[in-house]
Structure 1
Amino acid sequence: MLTYDFLATEPGPLKFYIFLGLIAYTWWLLSIVLSVRPSWLDRFVGLPSIYGLHGMLGVLAIVAAYVHRDYGYSPSRLARDLGDWGFYGALAVLCFSVFFMSGWLVDRSRLLLAAKRLLEVVFRRRLSVWIHRLNLVIVAMIWLHVHLLVRVNQHFAFMVLFDLYTVMVLGIYAWKKWIAPDTYPMGTVISNEALGGATRKMSVDLDGKAATLQPGDFFFLSFEGSPSVSREWHPFSVTDENPETLTFTIRQHGDFTRRVGNVEVGTRVRLEGPFGRFESIIQDRDHEAPLVLLGMGAGVAPLLSLTAAHHTTRKIHLLWAVRSPEDAYYRDALLEYQAASGDRLQVTTSIGRFRREDLASTLSAEEIAKGAFFIVGPNPAVLANQRLLRRMGVSARRIHQERLTM
């Protein structure tokens, strides 16, 4: 914007609308960079926040592009058409992604959630990912749109900077998607067993060692050479703290995870990660403050690794909501941790979700007043428990959550 402002001689109002177009384009580029999951940024703010910013940039870019489109003008018919196609394409992809790939709407409305599950028969996750990638085509349209505008392309220094930003971002995306995976750690599936009615426990023996693994972390997995599942990346939380053999607890819910049971022992797995901020949050908190870990179903997985790491040194209250008694598949492991904790670990298991009266009678006054809460589970359940804890007097800054659908 500063470069164009220095070089261009258009009237102020026209410059303003051009600036809005540049802002929208730059935000689209930044959104693409965030979509590759920068691991260094994850350790600072967490992947959910990165995805949240990715989505908000897409929304705000549409707003800026709308004003730019309605109040700007161009003598080139092709430039106008490319701008219109890019705008309407971005709007369509945004609406699709908000409904199918985020929980902004469906996690807060049972009716919309039911409609999404019905439509997912056609719009499966892999198709949704490819539709979302149409943003790259839209960026190419807008890039060509700018190159056709005489009032813009006449400024050589500006165009060099504009192209440099574009090539750099697309280069980062191409490297991360097609070149960097060859450098990711590899492992072999050594077990894949059923736990309860709709959950599996999978162990992956790494070729090396996950040196940067922290308790509560998760990886994105891609199964190679398995005809049962696609090679799309999917996130799974690590259940223990063994850096050489990773164990994942997988809830079979979506179209991808329902087929995980067909993954055979010996299948090669590529892993991206680790990701997660739970451990760094715990280390930053008062050592005497209790930890309250609330897991729903397979959401207990990252909380179990946190329990394994801290049950002998921190006061921990683990609350685990399961659908049936058979789904409490880690009961024995929790009993072992409890016995070794020196009365530091308390475990409460509930058949069905915890209600407000359950939490009120289970949580101590110290936990409500000073505890650090970590909630993991399906999106709607996490949001519901977060609201419940807020009403009970737990401040928002002490509530940390991770949703099983990203």
Structure 2
Amino acid sequence: MIHNHRFRVNSLWLFILFMLPLPLLFAIYQELPSLYQGEKIGINAGLIAYTWMLAIIYLATKPKWLDKKVGLPDMYLVHGMLSIFALLLAWLHKYLSPSAGWIKTSGDFSLYVFTGLIVYSLFFLGGWFTSRVKPAAWIKNSLEKIFKHEFSVWLHRLNIVATLVVYIHVWLIDYLRTLPLFFFLLTLYTILTFASYAWYLLITNRSLMPGVIKEISFVSPTILEIVIKAPRTSLKKIHAGDFIFLSFPQIQALKEPHPFSVANDPRQSGSIQLLIETVGDFTNQLAFVTPNTPVTFSKGYGVLHEMIQKTTPSQEIILLGGGIGVVPFFSILSEFKEKTMYFFYSIKKEKEFLETEQLETWSQEQNRTLFLQKGRFTKAQLQEHVPLHEEAIYLIAGPMAMNLAYEAFLIDHGIAKEQIYYESFSW
């Protein structure tokens, strides 16, 4: 359950941070000539940074087996944080192991590309920074009109080029290239990583499933509802609580797959329902899509379904949602009818509740308890109405500030971190 999930995430961090670079570090320890022992710290910093960059490329392929273990949002978090750690070590390597000529040129090229891309990604490809720093959010919103989502995705792929140049950078260093075990391992790591990325590019389009827009309309001034018709064999690959990557192959600005949470149980309803807030350049373009437009979509990603499936019949499930973040909870409430659930749903005062008819239906079911409110629930309200005990699990979905506030409230009232989970696309 959630305890196992946290263990898996921590294990992933442990493996990437320490176990993955270890063979290369061992090879350097065994083979580095005594003449260059003084540069060992700088060399090791560069090797660890390179190993982490290879791990970042592999995580970018969204491996399905790893999603089922830790979930794609946590993989994105590892991807983003690891990029910053690798960049810091790369700069340390530059100053501790100075070079000249093509060795310096290749190293500097990759370093500057990595630096530029990470700064750019903090604004345009992740929400961790912009959700916490208001001026950064303002800058992002202003520049999004120029730097479209498609451009950001393609620019991010310069990481592949820069990483390949790093390999060339190492190959140009004579005393490293002649170390047999070290260079064999370095080459093996590189080949395996780039082979996995090539395979990902090869099968991505083939693995996407076809569908067609059945209905599309605004259910509020900023919320767009999209219903996708697709073969039932495809719908069986999506569970309640999942999100899918959706693309429009015939629309140039919407060709790059974009993640959206599923609002229903596709296997039960025979279609995919999405509720999307039109706030970015990609989502704003969706307003111009018409019925019968062909789409492609991925299999379902996410761990919410498995977490709920593994709860015992007596366990209570507490859903704390806000704004558009509640969408995956709608699908969970639809599928797991036998589970006892408390659903706390808050929206901004100027907004309207979604799925009002469904909410009315759920409120009349014996094992459903709903609390709806305009404005965030206060600590006093949460303390009065939220069941607080060690047998329950607590799932949170909403703006990052709300997620953190609710998590802090639960921990302050004796709920263990192992009982709390929220998905965040912060990276």
TM-score scaled by length of structure 2: 0.86
Q: Please name the residue that 2:218 is paired with.
A: 194
Distance (Å, rounded) in 2 between the aligned partners of 1:238 and 1:359? 27
The question of 1:380 aligning with 2:404 is answered: no
Task: Structure 1: give runs of 5+ residues left out of the alignment.
Answer: none
Distance (Å, rounded) in 1 between the aligned partners of 2:425 and 2:176? 45
Report if aligned partners of 2:73, 2:425 keep a CA contact under 8 Å in 1: no
Q: Please name the residue that 1:275 is paired with.
A: 301
Report if aligned partners of 2:53, 2:83 keep a CA contact under 8 Å in 1: yes
The question of 1:254 aligning with 2:280 is answered: yes
Task: Report how far residue 375 of structure 1 moved.
Answer: 1.5
Q: Please name the residue that 1:293 is paired with.
A: 319
Q: Please name the residue that 2:71 is paired with.
A: 46
Task: Report how far residue 384 of structure 1 moved.
Answer: 3.4
Report if aligned partners of 2:59, 2:79 keep a CA contact under 8 Å in 1: yes
- How far does the alpha carbon of each residue in 1:11-53 deviate from its partner, in whole angstroms, 9 at most, with x for none? 4333343222111111101111001111111111111111111
Q: Which of 37, 58, 82 in structure 2 is aligned with 1:57?
A: 82
Q: Please name the residue that 2:21 is paired with.
A: none
Query: Greater relative contact order: 1 or 2 (C-alpha under 8 angstroms, separation 6 or more)?
Result: 2
The question of 1:219 aligning with 2:244 is answered: yes
Partner SS for 1:40: helix
Specify the code of the residue in structure 1 equivalent to 2:384.
S
The question of 1:310 aligning with 2:336 is answered: yes
Report if aligned partners of 2:348, 2:375 keep a CA contact under 8 Å in 1: yes
The question of 1:35 aligning with 2:91 is answered: no
Distance (Å, rounded) in 1 between the aligned partners of 2:254 and 2:407? 34
Distance (Å, rounded) in 1 between the aligned partners of 2:372 and 2:243? 23
Specify the code of the residue in structure 1 equivalent to 2:363.
Q
Specify the code of the residue in structure 2 equivalent to 1:245.
S
Of 200-209 and 40-49, more deviation after overlay is shown by: 200-209
RMSD: 2.3
Q: Please name the residue that 1:149 is paired with.
A: 173
- Pair 154,405 (structure 1): closer, same or farther in 2 beyond 3 Å: closer
Q: Which of 45, 49, 52 in structure 2 is aligned with 1:24?
A: 49
Identity of aligned residues (%): 27
Partner SS for 1:375: strand
Q: Please name the residue that 2:121 is paired with.
A: 97
Task: Report how far residue 73 of structure 1 moved.
Answer: 3.8
Distance (Å, rounded) in 2 between the aligned partners of 1:404 and 1:22? 29
Distance (Å, rounded) in 2 between the aligned partners of 1:197 and 1:359? 29
The question of 1:114 aligning with 2:138 is answered: yes
- How far does the alpha carbon of each residue in 1:251-271 deviate from its partner, in whole angstroms, 9 at most, with x for none? 111111112122121122211
Distance (Å, rounded) in 2 between the aligned partners of 1:325 and 1:58? 38
Report if aligned partners of 1:198, 1:251 keep a CA contact under 8 Å in 2: yes
Q: Please name the residue that 2:11 is paired with.
A: none
Report if aligned partners of 1:39, 1:273 keep a CA contact under 8 Å in 2: no
- Pair 388,13 (structure 1): closer, same or farther in 2 beyond 3 Å: same
Distance (Å, rounded) in 2 between the aligned partners of 1:357 and 1:118? 38
Task: Report how far residue 137 of structure 1 moved.
Answer: 2.0
Q: Please name the residue that 1:241 is paired with.
A: 265
- Pair 104,210 (structure 1): closer, same or farther in 2 beyond 3 Å: same
Q: Which of 141, 147, 172 in structure 1 is aligned with 2:196?
A: 172
Distance (Å, rounded) in 2 between the aligned partners of 1:395 and 1:118? 40
Q: Please name the residue that 2:153 is paired with.
A: 129
Report if aligned partners of 1:201, 1:250 keep a CA contact under 8 Å in 2: yes
Of 388-397 and 369-378, more deviation after overlay is shown by: 388-397
Aligned residues: 399
Distance (Å, rounded) in 1 between the aligned partners of 2:402 and 2:148? 23
- How far does the alpha carbon of each residue in 1:339-398 deviate from its partner, in whole angstroms, 9 at most, with x for none? 3x3x210111112222223323332xx345543221112333333333344344433222
Distance (Å, rounded) in 2 between the aligned partners of 1:230 and 1:71? 45
